[in-house]
C-alpha cells in the first residue's frame, strides 16, 4: 500500500473521474454518428461527397491536430488547453445538433474534432502529472484506456437508443450538459502544469505535422473506401508524405523540437507506439466489419447491434481494472505479447461465424477480443507514458493518440481493401444481373440489397444470396489478415522491457526541466517535483520494484 499523500494530492482519483468523463464523450462522438447516417441523409439530403465529409471530418481534424495541441499544452498549460477544448466541444455540439444544412454539419463536426484534439492528449498528460507513483499511475491508465475503448464501442449503442426516441441531433445534444458541468468542475479541481519552456514553440513544425497527418489519414480512409488508385488518394498520400518528411527533418534540426524523435529509438517508447498502431488497426477494422455483419448479414437493428457488441466493452472494462495488477506481475513485454496472442485467438474464434446467427460463439469471441485488445492497449500506453519525462507528457500523450488515430485509418484502409478485393469480384459475376447493376452491387452489401430489390424475382434473390456469401467470405479473409498482424505484434512486443524495473532514460532531465503551474498563479501539480538530474525514487513511494532496483 502506498503511503498517504499530502492533502492536496488526495483528490487525484476525483481528477481521474473528471478526465474520464470528458474522454468518454470524445470517444463516443467518434462512432455515435455511424448509426445516425440514414436519418441525417433523409433529413439534410447531403450529396455523396458531403456525406463522406460529415462522417470523416471529425476523426481527420482530431488526428491531425493532436501533436499541435499536445505540445501547446506543454507550453501554455495543459488545464488551459483542456478547458478551451471543453468550451469548443460544447459549442460545436450545439451547432451540430441544430445544423440545417450539410455544410453547417461538416463545419460543426470539424469544430468537434478541434475540441477533441485539445481534450484527448490533455487528459493523459494531466494524468501523468497527478499520479507520480507508477503503481497508481498504471491503475489510472488502465481505467483511462478502458474508458476510451468503451466510449468507441458504445457509440453505436448510445446512438441507437437515442434514435429510437429522438431526432438525429440528439446524438450531439447529450454532450452539452456534461460539458457545462465539466468546465467549472475542471477549472476548480484540476491542477495546472506545463512542461519545459525553453526556446520558442515551433509553430511551423506544428502546422507541418497537422497538414501531413490530415492528408495521410485522408488518403488511408479513401483507400479503405475502394478508391486506392484514384488521383485524389495518390495526391493526398504523396502530399502527406512530403509534409511529414519536412516535419521530421525540421525537428531533427531544431534545438528545442516539438517532438524528441530520439524517443522512438528507445524500446519502451518506440515499440509501445508501434503496438498501439497494430492494436487499433485490428480493433477498428474488426469493429467496422462486425457492425456491418450484424446489421446486413444477420439483419439486426442498430440497437440490437450495439447490444451484441456490449460483451466487448465489458471485457475491456475488466481488462482495464485488472491491468495494473497484471502489469506488475507479468511486466510490459509478456503482457503485451500475451494480449496480442489472446486477440489473435479471439479473431480465429470469430472465423466460425457465418450466415447463421450464433450468439454464444459471438459473445465468447467478443469477450476474448475485448480483453486481449484492452490488455495490449493498456500496457502499451503505460510503457510509453512512463518512459517519457513528465515535462514532455503532453507531447508523449499526443504521439500515443496520433498512433491510435493512425492505426484506425490504417485499419479501415487495409482491412477494407482486403474486404473489397474479395467481395467486389464475386458480386460482379452474379448471374442474371446486368453489368451496371452488378457493378453497383459490388460497392457494398447495402447497395447489393438495394439493387436486388430493384431487380426482383429470382435474379434479385440470387444476387442477395451471392452478396451475402461474398461478404462472409471477405470477412473471413480480413479476420485471417488481422490474426497475422496481431501475431506480428506479439513478436514486435518482445523489444519491450521485461519488467518495470527498467528505468527509462527519458526521466533523466536537466535542471529546471519540467515545471508545474509556471506563470499561471495556480496551485502546483500534485505529483512529480522539479527533479535534479538523473533518475531517483521519491522517498514516500512504496517499493514497487525488487529491493536494490531504482527507478524514476
Helices 102-130 and 134-165, packing angle to 10 deg: 160
Taking residues 106-111, what's their average pLDDT? 90
Contacts of 345 (CB under 8 A, 6+ apart): 368, 372
Q: Do residue 290 and residue 207 come from a single domain?
A: no
In contact, 218 and 60? CB cutoff 8 Å: yes
Counted residue by residue, the chain has a size of: 552
Bridge partner residues of 194 (DSSP): 515
**Running DSSP on this structure, what letter comes out for residue 517?**
S
Q: Do residue 23 and residue 145 come from a single domain?
A: yes
Q: Do residue 132 and residue 236 come from a single domain?
A: no
The domain boundary, picked from 166, 189, 212, lies at 189
Question: Do the domain assignments include residue 121?
Answer: yes
* The three grid cell numbers given for residue 145, joined into one nine-digit string: 484506456
Bridge partner residues of 129 (DSSP): none
* The three grid cell numbers given for residue 358, joined into one nine-digit string: 450464433
CA distance 140 to 378: 10
In which region does residue 12 sit, left (phi positive, over 0), alpha (psi from -120 to 50) or beta (all else)? alpha
Q: How many Å separate Cα 298 from the centre of its chain?
A: 27
Q: Do residue 345 and residue 222 come from a single domain?
A: no
CA distance 411 to 420: 13
Bridge partner residues of 515 (DSSP): 194
Q: Do residue 233 and residue 119 come from a single domain?
A: no
**Running DSSP on this structure, what letter comes out for residue 431?**
T
Q: Do residue 393 and residue 285 come from a single domain?
A: yes
* The three grid cell numbers given for residue 383, joined into one nine-digit string: 510503457
Segment 490-511, tens digit of pLDDT: 998 888 888 765 544 444 443 3
Taking residues 263-285, what's their average pLDDT? 81
Helices 272-292 and 393-428, packing angle to 10 deg: 40
Q: Do residue 238 and residue 311 come from a single domain?
A: no
- DSSP string of 445-472, one letter each residue: HHHHHHHHHHH-HHHHHHHHHHHHHHHH
pLDDT at 428: 79
CA distance 348 to 321: 26
CA distance 328 to 357: 40
The domain boundary, picked from 236, 257, 278, lies at 257
The domain boundary, picked from 189, 215, 244, lies at 189
Q: Do residue 344 and residue 375 come from a single domain?
A: yes
Question: Do the domain assignments include residue 528?
Answer: no
Segment 446-478, tens digit of pLDDT: 778 887 787 777 777 888 888 888 888 888 888
**Residue 349 predicted with pLDDT over 70:** yes
Buried/exposed code over 202-227 (b: 16+ C-beta within 10 A; e: otherwise): beebbebbbbbbbbbbbbbbbbbbbe
In which region does residue 226 sit, left (phi positive, over 0), alpha (psi from -120 to 50) or beta (all else)? left
How sure is the predictor about 174, in pLDDT bands with cuts at 50, 70 and 90? confident
Segment 10-68, tens digit of pLDDT: 477 788 888 888 778 777 776 677 677 777 877 788 776 777 778 778 878 888 888 88
452 φ, ψ (degrees, to nearest 5): -60, -40
**CATH code at 127?**
1.20.1250.20
pLDDT at 285: 65
List alpha helices for 254-358, DSSP H: 272-292, 302-308, 310-350
Question: Do the domain assignments include residue 539?
Answer: no
CA distance 414 to 225: 10
Question: Do the domain assignments include residue 42?
Answer: yes
CA distance 108 to 93: 7
**Percentage of the residues of the chain whose pLDDT score is greater than 70:** 82
Contacts of 350 (CB under 8 A, 6+ apart): 286, 362, 365, 366, 369, 479
**What is the overall mean pLDDT for the chain?**
76
pLDDT at 526: 35
* The three grid cell numbers given for residue 214, joined into one nine-digit string: 490530415
In contact, 385 and 400? CB cutoff 8 Å: yes
Contacts of 106 (CB under 8 A, 6+ apart): 50, 53, 54, 57
CA distance 123 to 486: 28
Range of the domain at 59: 9-189
Question: Do the domain assignments include residue 297?
Answer: yes
**Residue 538 predicted with pLDDT over 50:** no
Q: Please return the burial class of 421, using the count of CB atoms within 10 Å of its CB with bins 0-12, 13-18 and 19+.
A: middle
Question: Do the domain assignments include residue 1?
Answer: no
Q: Do residue 303 and residue 321 come from a single domain?
A: yes
CA distance 532 to 507: 10
10 φ, ψ (degrees, to nearest 5): -75, -10
Q: Do residue 387 and residue 489 come from a single domain?
A: yes
Question: Do the domain assignments include residue 439?
Answer: yes
What count of Cα atoms within 13 Å lies in the side-chain half-sphere of residue 307? 8
Q: Do residue 229 and residue 172 come from a single domain?
A: no
pTM of the complete model: 0.72
CA distance 74 to 125: 9
Question: Do the domain assignments include residue 509?
Answer: no
Number of domains in the chain: 3
Cα distances from 190 to residues 8, 131, 147, 236, 289, in angstroms, run 11, 13, 19, 40, 39
How sure is the predictor about 188, in pLDDT bands with cuts at 50, 70 and 90? confident
CA distance 273 to 148: 17
pLDDT at 536: 36
SS3 222: helix
* The three grid cell numbers given for residue 83, joined into one nine-digit string: 478547458
pLDDT at 25: 77
In 38-96, beta strands by DSSP E: none
SS3 515: strand
SS3 429: coil
- Four-residue CA torsion sign, 362, 364, 365, 369: positive
Q: Do residue 408 and residue 338 come from a single domain?
A: yes
Of 96-110, 306-320, 457-471, the range with the highest mean pLDDT is 96-110
SS3 194: strand
Amino acid at each position: 500500500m502506498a503511503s498517504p499523500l499530502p492533502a492536496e494530492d488526495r483528490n487525484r482519483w476525483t481528477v481521474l473521474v473528471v478526465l474520464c468523463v470528458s474522454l468518454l464523450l470524445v470517444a463516443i462522438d467518434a462512432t455515435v454518428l455511424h448509426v445516425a447516417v440514414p436519418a441525417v441523409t433523409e433529413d439534410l439530403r447531403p450529396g455523396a461527397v458531403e456525406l463522406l465529409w460529415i462522417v470523416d471530418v471529425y476523426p481527420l481534424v482530431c488526428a491531425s491536430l493532436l501533436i499541435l495541441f499536445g505540445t501547446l499544452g506543454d507550453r501554455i498549460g495543459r488545464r488551459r488547453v483542456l478547458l478551451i477544448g471543453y468550451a469548443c466541444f460544447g459549442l460545436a455540439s450545439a451547432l451540430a445538433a441544430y445544423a440545417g444544412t450539410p455544410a453547417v454539419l461538416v463545419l460543426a463536426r470539424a469544430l468537434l474534432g478541434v475540441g477533441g484534439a485539445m481534450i484527448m492528449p490533455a487528459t493523459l498528460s494531466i494524468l501523468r502529472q497527478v499520479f507520480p507513483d507508477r503503481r497508481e499511475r498504471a491503475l489510472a491508465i488502465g481505467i483511462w484506456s478502458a474508458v476510451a475503448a468503451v466510449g468507441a464501442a458504445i457509440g453505436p449503442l448510445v446512438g441507437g437508443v437515442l434514435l429510437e426516441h429522438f431526432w438525429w441531433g440528439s446524438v450531439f445534444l447529450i454532450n452539452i450538459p456534461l460539458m457545462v458541468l465539466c468546465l467549472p468542475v475542471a477549472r476548480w479541481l484540476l491542477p495546472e502544469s506545463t512542461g519545459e519552456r525553453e526556446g520558442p514553440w515551433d509553430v511551423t513544425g506544428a502546422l507541418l505535422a497537422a497538414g501531413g497527418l490530415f492528408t495521410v489519414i485522408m488518403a488511408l480512409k479513401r483507400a479503405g473506401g475502394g478508391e486506392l488508385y484514384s488521383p485524389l488518394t495518390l495526391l493526398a498520400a504523396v502530399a502527406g508524405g512530403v509534409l511529414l518528411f519536412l516535419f521530421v527533418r525540421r525537428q531533427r534540426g531544431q534545438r528545442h523540437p516539438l517532438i524528441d524523435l530520439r524517443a522512438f529509438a528507445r524500446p519502451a517508447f518506440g515499440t509501445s507506439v508501434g503496438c498501439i498502431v497494430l492494436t487499433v488497426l485490428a480493433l477498428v477494422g474488426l469493429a467496422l466489419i462486425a457492425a456491418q455483419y450484424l446489421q446486413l448479414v444477420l439483419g439486426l437493428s442498430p440497437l440490437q447491434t450495439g447490444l451484441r457488441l456490449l460483451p466487448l466493452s465489458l471485457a475491456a472494462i475488466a481488462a482495464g481494472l485488472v491491468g495494473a495488477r497484471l502489469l506488475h506481475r507479468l511486466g510490459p513485454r509478456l503482457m503485451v505479447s500475451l494480449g496480442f496472442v489472446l486477440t489473435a485467438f479471439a479473431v480465429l474464434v470469430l472465423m466460425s461465424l457465418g450466415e447463421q446467427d450464433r450468439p454464444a460463439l459471438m459473445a465468447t469471441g467478443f469477450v476474448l477480443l475485448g480483453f486481449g485488445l484492452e490488455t495490449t492497449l493498456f500496457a502499451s500506453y503505460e510503457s510509453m507514458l512512463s518512459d517519457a519525462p513528465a515535462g514532455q507528457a503532453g507531447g508523449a500523450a499526443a504521439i500515443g493518440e496520433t498512433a491510435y488515430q493512425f492505426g484506425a485509418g490504417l485499419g479501415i484502409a487495409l482491412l477494407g481493401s482486403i474486404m473489397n478485393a474479395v467481395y467486389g469480384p464475386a458480386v460482379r459475376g452474379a448471374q442474371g444481373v446486368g453489368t451496371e447493376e452488378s457493378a453497383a452491387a459490388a460497392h457494398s452489401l447495402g447497395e447489393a440489397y438495394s439493387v436486388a430489390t430493384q431487380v426482383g424475382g429470382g435474379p434479385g434473390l440470387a444476387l442477395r444470396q451471392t452478396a451475402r456469401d461474398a461478404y462472409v467470405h471477405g470477412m473471413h479473409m480480413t479476420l485471417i489478415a488481422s490474426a497475422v498482424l496481431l501475431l506480428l505484434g506479439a513478436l514486435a512486443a518482445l523489444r519491450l522491457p521485461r519488467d518495470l524495473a527498467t528505468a527509462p532514460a527519458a526521466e533523466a532531465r536537466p535542471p529546471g526541466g519540467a515545471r508545474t503551474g509556471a506563470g499561471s498563479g495556480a496551485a502546483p501539480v500534485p505529483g512529480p517535483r522539479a527533479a535534479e538530474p538523473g533518475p531517483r525514487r521519491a522517498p514516500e513511494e512504496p517499493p514497487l520494484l525488487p529491493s536494490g532496483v531504482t527507478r524514476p
